[in-house]
Amino acid sequence: MAQDKIDGQDKLNIFVLGGGGREHALCWKISQSPMVSELFCAPGNAGTGQVAKNIAMDPEDAQAVLEFCQANHIDLVVIGPEGPLVAGVSDVLRANDIYVFGPSAAAAQLEGSKGFTKDLCAEANIPTAAYGRFHDAASAHAYLDEHPAPIVIKADGLAAGKGVIMAMDDAQAHDAVDMIFDGAFGDAGAELVIEAFMEGEEASFFVITDGTRAIPLATAQDHKRVGDGDTGPNTGGMGAYSPASIVTPAILEEVLDRIIEPTLTTLRERGTPYQGVLYAGLMLTADGPMLIEYNARFGDPECQVLMMRLESDFVPVLMASAAGDMTEIGIDWSTDLAMTVVMAAQGYPGSYTKNTEIRGITEAETNGAIVFHAGTSLQNGKCLATGGRVLNVTSKAKDVALAQQLAYDAISKIDWPEGFCRRDIAWRELERLSKG
């Protein structure tokens, strides 16, 4: 039956969980497949509602998700964000014979616990920064006394991309420890990890795996800082582009051999094979690529540029991973460069005003750009901003300079005084090209 679905002999009802820009991009790509009968998204946003039926549901409520799947004859569930994965939604669905694209809760600990991942790296001899794990402030402070700044302090659990502090002096490092243990990140900060500071350039590397075979996806580079020139606090991501030329074929092979394959092998040997997309955040150092951290899902906004460049029908890939057999799967990519610029609410990543109106999205798409929605809702015919990161204005072109021009031209057509964006997305790539 699974192979019939993969081969397209059966039409599929597909249910995407999540409501951000990543999920709009996934729905957009999935909806293009001739294999799809019905497509649902929970909770979705104003953008997903254009290509799928939005369902008002908490995607972390495993029982509600299961009941919806059974009532609507869902063939495949695609889990977008990390919350439902760590909460074990995929386990409940698999136990009820529903195909799921996304790892089990045990395997999703690669993202759910930074300490878990660091210990796995130590076990499998995966290159990463030296570290310590701490359950109390006193031992963490003692470690800092022996390991001066610069140093990196991380809340162990899920903190919406904001639980990492790069301390450039000792006082900041000690303050970060106190802040985390004082509850700044809630339960995510019940434990913390302290890591050596790595120097280099960051890049994102993705594979899709069935638990054994890993198929590399296109490379991408994210822009985490809120301000131009990579200044200001970290965010969930202010823009991305793909491919990232800094990840050469030689680096790609090294990452597969020294980071990805040992990770998958170790999890498989533990009896918790990893199925789904595995996202490695890399630091490209003078000593080679090193793992910063893993995510158990597509990056956001990297997913948007990957879906823009993906030429293959994505549904057979998703089904093959979910079914545990990707031996017959290949993936084709456009040679064009894709770029996305995040438009965020003024004040993000701090406090911001909600429910401001956005106009001009249709006009922004007239030059070939796609506007993926993140924190939006449609109310009385108006598109309202309901989150911090709100829109992902995405373009594709033969080179990075043209892609950048198309994206910012599209942004100029969007009428949203309460929003802002970085104006230098892909600056590192342009700088590399200018140097030849």
Distance separating alpha carbons of residues 316 and 14, to the nearest angstrom: 12
Q: Does the pLDDT value for residue 189 go beyond 60?
A: yes
In the three-class reduction of DSSP (H, G, I as helix; E, B as strand; rest coil), residue 219 is classed as coil
Q: Which two tokens stand for residue 174?
A: 């000690």
Residue 17 has a pLDDT of: 98
Higher pLDDT, 203 or 152: 152
Mean local confidence (pLDDT), 129-155? 96
Query: Which among 63, 73, 7 is positioned nearest to 40, based on CA atoms?
Result: 73
- Listed in order, strand segments (DSSP E) in 44-150 are 53-54, 76-79, 99-101, 131-134
Residue 1 has a pLDDT of: 41
Distance separating alpha carbons of residues 220 and 337, to the nearest angstrom: 10
| pLDDT digit string, tens, across residues 373-430 | 999 999 999 999 999 999 999 999 999 999 999 999 999 999 999 999 999 999 988 9
Q: Which two tokens stand for residue 76?
A: 């495949």
Distance separating alpha carbons of residues 86 and 154, to the nearest angstrom: 18
Taking the alpha carbons of 337, 264, 282, 80 in that order, is the dihedral positive or negative?
A: positive
Query: Which among 314, 307, 309 is positioned nearest to 34, based on CA atoms?
Result: 314
Residue 8 has a pLDDT of: 53
Residue 425 has a pLDDT of: 96
Burial label, 332 (beta-carbon count in 10 A; 0-12, 13-18, 19+): exposed
Residue 231, strand partner residues? 227
Structural domains in the chain, sorted by start: 13-101 (3.40.50.20), 136-190 (3.30.1490.20), 199-323 (3.30.470.20), 337-434 (3.90.600.10)
Q: With beta carbons less than 8 A apart as the criterion, state whether 118 and 294 touch.
A: no
Distance separating alpha carbons of residues 46 and 39, to the nearest angstrom: 15
Mean pLDDT of the chain: 95
| pLDDT digit string, tens, across residues 280-315 | 999 999 999 999 999 999 999 999 999 999 999 999
Taking the alpha carbons of 329, 332, 333, 335 in that order, is the dihedral positive or negative?
A: positive
Half-sphere exposure of 171 toward its Cβ, with a 13 Å CA cutoff? 0
> How much of the chain exceeds pLDDT 90, in percent?
89
Mean local confidence (pLDDT), 228-253? 92
Pairing of the two strands 356-358 and 370-373 = unpaired
Between the alpha carbon of residue 1 and those of residues 7, 269, 317, 323, the distances in Å are: 10, 28, 16, 10
In the three-class reduction of DSSP (H, G, I as helix; E, B as strand; rest coil), residue 262 is classed as helix
- Cβ-proximal residues to 435 (8 Å cutoff; 6+ apart), any chain: none
Phi and psi angles of residue 373, each rounded to the nearest 5 degrees, phi first: -85, 145
Distance separating alpha carbons of residues 406 and 409, to the nearest angstrom: 5
Distance separating alpha carbons of residues 59 and 44, to the nearest angstrom: 10
Record the pTM. 0.93
Q: With beta carbons less than 8 A apart as the criterion, state whether 58 and 64 touch.
A: yes
Q: With beta carbons less than 8 A apart as the criterion, state whether 55 and 116 touch.
A: no
Query: Which among 133, 176, 128 is positioned nearest to 151, based on CA atoms?
Result: 176
Residue 5 has a pLDDT of: 57
